[in-house]
Structure 1
């Protein structure tokens, strides 16, 4: 069905009723003041909440390489016979109320690369009936015998495989994996009838292996990893410690340093963090609100001075085209 409009209709002449505010100095100054008064308290509240987040960051990729391998870290990480276990000690500086979130942070890892992001099959992840849908997964699509790899693609193949265990005063701390992945991923994107198959069976192992007896809908670490990061430096949730950590507690961390970031100059960090009502530690949001609010107040004061010192007469709004009588516009 097609709609035709006359050449002189109100629609074609753009004369339909519309909101056409007149930005007088009073309206502009008032708007800037209101935005400034609103944004600055919000920014201060965000900064206050961020400052109360307790965070411990420990870079371990360099120190967890034995001194005689420091000049050839790649050989160390690729050799299956070397001992990858590393022990680190972290000191709690302030009270950390549960849950304490555990993140692993990777730097200089470009998960946003176009070919990397496309190397996956959402249909295969969702349903067993699409097990053979591996066209978009190259080069990790099928085995040498042509059997499909489940889950296929470079994203799953490069799954992070460092592991952490924690203890305080020789008492182990349980790491909970509950709710670390999005509920929508568990319910809709990863099928309960899809099991790992032919995964990491090639000559070149990319990362962690998966238990073939557990469906993808329960592989929480995989779900977290499959949500690719937009920036080259990112954190992903590893688990949660559901007990309080007290000041001066010394946390002993046993790390299995398996993941190869040495080949591309990457960095690995372990992060323990509490949260606030705005999430983790993030001063950018508060500073952004304060900056915008301050800029608006500065512009408001500037416009007030200009308006008082060197005022200009306002035009008569009745002469605006949309306020004039259509019959007299041609005169």
Structure 2
């Protein structure tokens, strides 16, 4: 055996030299075909004119569509304090925001009183009822929508948005520890993980702050019938079909009937005997509680409107209406405002001029720029350079390399590609 021969393992164990070089492909080496436009006055000026001519009419159509929406908004924030109790009084015109085609001078009246309200099987006494009386000057074609509008309510706060427990809302029988460890803090349980503690259902800040004013359907006062007699008529509005079907699938009723481990959120407890759930007064079926589902879809701005009721079949006729509101949600505690909004729809949705104004501004801005560029180009034109010099594949000539002359015509570079020199 020849000991002088190198061991066989030397060649096998020799490691390949590592390299960070990308693979030699068109994508990795940035050799893919690309097109980059050369912006000249002949292309830029017509382009700005075309964009302006397209955007401006679209903006006008959007504003026109928004103007066809009939809407009445009434701010009733201070009804519990400023309205009388004996007889209705005219509201300040600064609290009334009509938007109709011909008549935008509308008076409204308000008054408040104490009333009783039944929640499920439980009667709650001495609640404040605000009664609004208002006129509808023009017939509102269906669908007629009733919204509540809140101002200065920040549903977009980071901690507020995250304060819910999805498994609990989906109906799962979650434990006290699960709720305590969720994002619902500080409204997860009554006493942390203490043995006598109970979980809030539904837990979290969003659920606890649920808008809990109760709106009754408007009553048409003394409409004449075919016989000439007069009697009040209820304009029936329904509480269904106000939420997205995709949202409804996120909420399910509880699978457990054990109510000893859960308790209503603090702001809900007035609606239940002794502030507790029971067999006679069980927790709500969240899958069918569309007001709750609408509220849980948090708004991105501090002023927002959420749908409360709707009528998809009957028009709201011209006349005087009365509407009762159980006033539980006090916005004055956080310096906010609240209103009711009765509105119709257009082909572009609700009343909102912002999108139309935006299109008009963009169109007008483009036309102004096009005119400025056109006048500038006519008064003081600028000679354009030869864009062929922008090629990356130019092979410099000997004269150009020495700085003794200008580049000539096209030539073939060393790599075989055609360029300009």
Which TM-score applies when normalising by structure 2?
Answer: 0.68
Cα offset, 1:215, TM superposition:
2.4
How many aligned positions are there?
318
Q: 1:174 is matched with which residue? A: 236
| Secondary structure of 2:308 counterpart | strand
Structure 1 residues 3 and 307, CA, compared in 2 at 3 Å: closer, same or farther? Answer: farther
* C-alpha distance in 1 between matches for 2:380 and 2:165: 65
| Secondary structure of 2:346 counterpart | coil
The answer to which of 229-238 and 315-324 deviates more is 315-324
Structure 1 residues 326 and 227, CA, compared in 2 at 3 Å: closer, same or farther? Answer: farther
Q: 1:190 is matched with which residue? A: 251
Q: Is the 8 A contact 1:32 1:296 kept in 2?
A: yes
Say whether 1:294 aligns with 2:294: no
Greater fraction of residues in helix: 1
Structure 1 residues 307 and 201, CA, compared in 2 at 3 Å: closer, same or farther? Answer: closer
Larger Rg: 1 or 2?
2
Q: 1:47 is matched with which residue? A: 63
Say whether 1:263 aligns with 2:314: no
Structure 1 residues 326 and 289, CA, compared in 2 at 3 Å: closer, same or farther? Answer: farther
The answer to which of 9-18 and 83-92 deviates more is 9-18
Write the deviation string for residues 59-99 of structure 1: whole angstroms up to 9, x where unpaired. 11113325699xxxxxx9xxx87540111112112221011
Cα offset, 1:266, TM superposition:
1.1
Cα offset, 1:260, TM superposition:
1.8
Q: 1:57 is matched with which residue? A: 73
Q: Is the 8 A contact 2:238 2:311 kept in 1?
A: yes
* C-alpha distance in 2 between matches for 1:167 and 1:326: 87
Show structure 2 runs of 5+ residues with no match: 1-17, 86-113, 115-123, 222-231, 395-411
Q: 1:91 is matched with which residue? A: 135
| Secondary structure of 2:130 counterpart | strand
* C-alpha distance in 2 between matches for 1:208 and 1:117: 25
For 1:223-234, what aligned pairs fall within 5 Å after superposition?
223-234=293-304
Q: 1:72 is matched with which residue? A: none
Cα offset, 1:143, TM superposition:
2.8
For 1:304-315, what aligned pairs fall within 5 Å after superposition?
304-315=374-385
Write the deviation string for residues 23-44 of structure 1: whole angstroms up to 9, x where unpaired. 1112111221111111111101
The answer to which of 117-126 and 42-51 deviates more is 117-126
For 1:116-135, what aligned pairs fall within 5 Å after superposition?
116-130=160-174, 132=176, 133-134=178-179, 135=182
Q: Is the 8 A contact 2:202 2:264 kept in 1?
A: no
Q: Is the 8 A contact 2:219 2:235 kept in 1?
A: yes
For 1:18-33, what aligned pairs fall within 5 Å after superposition?
18-33=34-49
Show structure 1 runs of 5+ residues with no match: 70-75
Structure 1 residues 257 and 13, CA, compared in 2 at 3 Å: closer, same or farther? Answer: same
Say whether 1:275 aligns with 2:326: no
Q: Is the 8 A contact 1:158 1:206 kept in 2?
A: no
Write the deviation string for residues 134-193 of structure 1: whole angstroms up to 9, x where unpaired. 221011111343222221101001111111111102211222122211111112x11244
Structure with greater contact order relative to length (CA < 8 Å, sep ≥ 6):
1
Q: 1:17 is matched with which residue? A: 33
| Secondary structure of 1:128 counterpart | coil
Cα offset, 1:10, TM superposition:
5.9
Cα offset, 1:213, TM superposition:
5.6
Cα offset, 1:130, TM superposition:
4.0
Q: 1:200 is matched with which residue? A: 264
Structure 1 residues 66 and 290, CA, compared in 2 at 3 Å: closer, same or farther? Answer: closer
Q: Is the 8 A contact 2:201 2:264 kept in 1?
A: no
* C-alpha distance in 1 between matches for 2:214 and 2:147: 11
Q: 1:141 is matched with which residue? A: 188
Structure 1 residues 3 and 233, CA, compared in 2 at 3 Å: closer, same or farther? Answer: farther
Structure 1 residues 208 and 66, CA, compared in 2 at 3 Å: closer, same or farther? Answer: farther
